[in-house]
Structure 1
């Protein structure tokens, strides 16, 4: 498909996607996975080279603006900044946004453009707005401790289709470790006690731990460690949407953004790598502990060498939504590839109270039965 401006003029004129049939705007359609005219319904395929995503060597000393060909998003863009939450969104120059997709504020102003690495790959929207709302309806009906009226009510949501930036990191790790492994052993111990004036003898099994020094090596390859490059959301909500199938990544094309918004990353490569490294270190420690075995481990010291460090910058699709229930605001997000929902809901104090009382009653009953048996 040909853009409406010559390739060398892309830096000076916005790239749009007019319908070749009627001239109407063509937007990306999640069902057709093509551009689709909003007036006549004509579809146009999006070119895809089919080549695998490029992994870039991780150079933490390189600045974004030092590589101009990697900051060209393929269309003349504008960055809008929300004064309320600090979010930055990327839009084609001729499009506008009056409401922030992150917090719903109307305090959205143009921001002076600065260099940022363009996405290398993207997962296009697979879930439509209607499907996202249906997923939320099913999800909220299965929540515990929410008011029954909320489950049955029809919630009016305001949804925004948004591409959220992520980093992925690859790393080859070689670790050496030392530690002490503890193994449980048991011995029979004889005791005496007086019951109804009579002394009787009984035995118990007493546990003790035998410690041994251990050392070894642990090698592991980490592929596509996924790290959100956004600060705009509750991290717990975003982490629950991490079931993206990265094998479905496509080469980034500006056509996929037609009709949607994209967030500009607010977590730098360096910061993203530090987060990825913390996760990798934690995974290495877990792997080493499993390799050591035993019942307890103490004094674990690990030294790890990293090599083959690479990264990608990619965009992943999310329906971001807000709604109000009895005057209070709530939020939810829908993974626009898988339909997975993450969000906040109102709580029923009565249900929570009854559940706590039930748990207390169950504990008291268990204690009573144990005392009776003794």
Structure 2
């Protein structure tokens, strides 16, 4: 993504050139003379907002510290925010050049931010290391340097805290074993043998379970693959800073496209899935059926924040692929080409091993005639 500044938001005190956020120094750095300016950062626990609160200062929530404009992509529908005075030639999501500036009718401003820790070169190195560990890649792709179109973007997130209390009922099955006598035909003769048989004894159970959830992280992005974003979710939220417009100098942020209410529904799904796993572990047994869980949520709070991500797209043999790099930790998630030959050989190898094991078992079961 190329950007061209026509209005300097943070001019250098020495040469009046534009200053942008530098990942190495974590300060503003002049693009011309290299001088730095410290960002007066306050790193503290961000404020938790009651979910049912209706008395928030809306004007403050929309004040980014600098005037923003919305950039809309006609190809994928993605919307990003860039400062007034900057222009962009292509979409940060899909790379399309069909982007149009629109009026900003009001975009929620996050209260907290994790500044970028990784530079572009760091992100490329993380991807190169990641792809070397992937299986079934074409040899040519694995060995060559991939030419990626890499874009830095702050992605909006919601986090939710909640206390939960669940009551449940279920049927739990316990495995038991008994020795049974059976007959079989061997070389035309009836033969008696004993074997161990498993059976399940079922009984009803019920109980309750309580759990506190802290910082259920939900992307407020509607234009990225949620599975890829989920794999990037190892952000260290203890490193959150209070939002300052200086952190966005030279970077683009995505506009919130998932509302607070929509985010909470997704957070509930995450909590419900974890509660089901925890309750099953508490019930124990060997099998569980007819599990019914009823959960109440209380003390629900939320935060809104920006998290750093390097987003990339590249082409291999005329097919597009995408990957993302966590701008704080370097974790990578993405899509890569696969070698049909390697996959086929692996499947054939597994089938061959399974065939040898099956043949061995069958030979062990054949009785030697008297």
Q: Is the 8 A contact 1:15 1:75 kept in 2?
A: no
2:93 alignment partner in structure 1: 102
Q: Does 1:231 align with 2:222?
A: yes
Deviation, 1:15, is 8.2
2:288 alignment partner in structure 1: 297
Pick from 2, 27, 31: which aligns with 1:38?
A: 31
CA RMSD between the two structures: 1.7
1:309 alignment partner in structure 2: 300
Deviations 1:272-331 (A, max 9, x none): 110100111111111111111111112222221111101111111011111122222211
1:178 alignment partner in structure 2: 169
Pick from 233, 248, 258: which aligns with 2:249?
A: 258
Paired residues for 1:162-173 under 5 Å:
162-173=153-164
Q: Secondary structure in 2 aligned to 1:136?
A: helix
Q: Is the 8 A contact 1:175 1:302 kept in 2?
A: yes
Structure 2 spans left out of the alignment, 5+ residues: 1-6, 366-370
1:26 alignment partner in structure 2: 19
Q: Is the 8 A contact 1:15 1:76 kept in 2?
A: no
Q: Secondary structure in 1 aligned to 2:108?
A: coil
Distance 2:42 2:223 in 1: 33
Give the TM-score normalised by the residue count of structure 1.
Answer: 0.92
Q: Is the 8 A contact 1:100 1:108 kept in 2?
A: yes
2:66 alignment partner in structure 1: 75
Paired residues for 1:167-246 under 5 Å:
167-246=158-237
Q: Does 1:321 align with 2:347?
A: no
Distance 2:294 2:204 in 1: 17
Q: How many pairs align? A: 359
Q: Is the 8 A contact 2:28 2:246 kept in 1?
A: yes
Q: Does 1:124 align with 2:115?
A: yes
Deviation, 1:49, is 2.7
Distance 2:263 2:82 in 1: 24
Q: Secondary structure in 2 aligned to 1:134?
A: helix
Give the TM-score normalised by the residue count of structure 2.
Answer: 0.93
Distance 1:141 1:232 in 2: 28
1:10 alignment partner in structure 2: none
Distance 2:76 2:129 in 1: 30
1:356 alignment partner in structure 2: 347
Distance 1:310 1:15 in 2: 38
Distance 2:218 2:55 in 1: 19
Q: Secondary structure in 2 aligned to 1:372?
A: helix
Structure 1 spans left out of the alignment, 5+ residues: 1-13
Q: Is the 8 A contact 1:230 1:267 kept in 2?
A: yes
Q: Secondary structure in 2 aligned to 1:226?
A: strand
Q: Is the 8 A contact 1:98 1:108 kept in 2?
A: yes
Q: 1:278 to 1:63 in 2, by over 3 A?
A: farther
Q: Secondary structure in 1 aligned to 2:258?
A: coil
2:4 alignment partner in structure 1: none
Distance 2:115 2:149 in 1: 21
Q: Is the 8 A contact 1:80 1:109 kept in 2?
A: yes
Q: Does 1:287 align with 2:278?
A: yes
Distance 1:316 1:63 in 2: 26
Distance 1:197 1:326 in 2: 62
Q: Is the 8 A contact 1:78 1:93 kept in 2?
A: yes
Q: Does 1:55 align with 2:48?
A: yes
Q: Is the 8 A contact 2:154 2:309 kept in 1?
A: yes
Deviation, 1:101, is 0.6
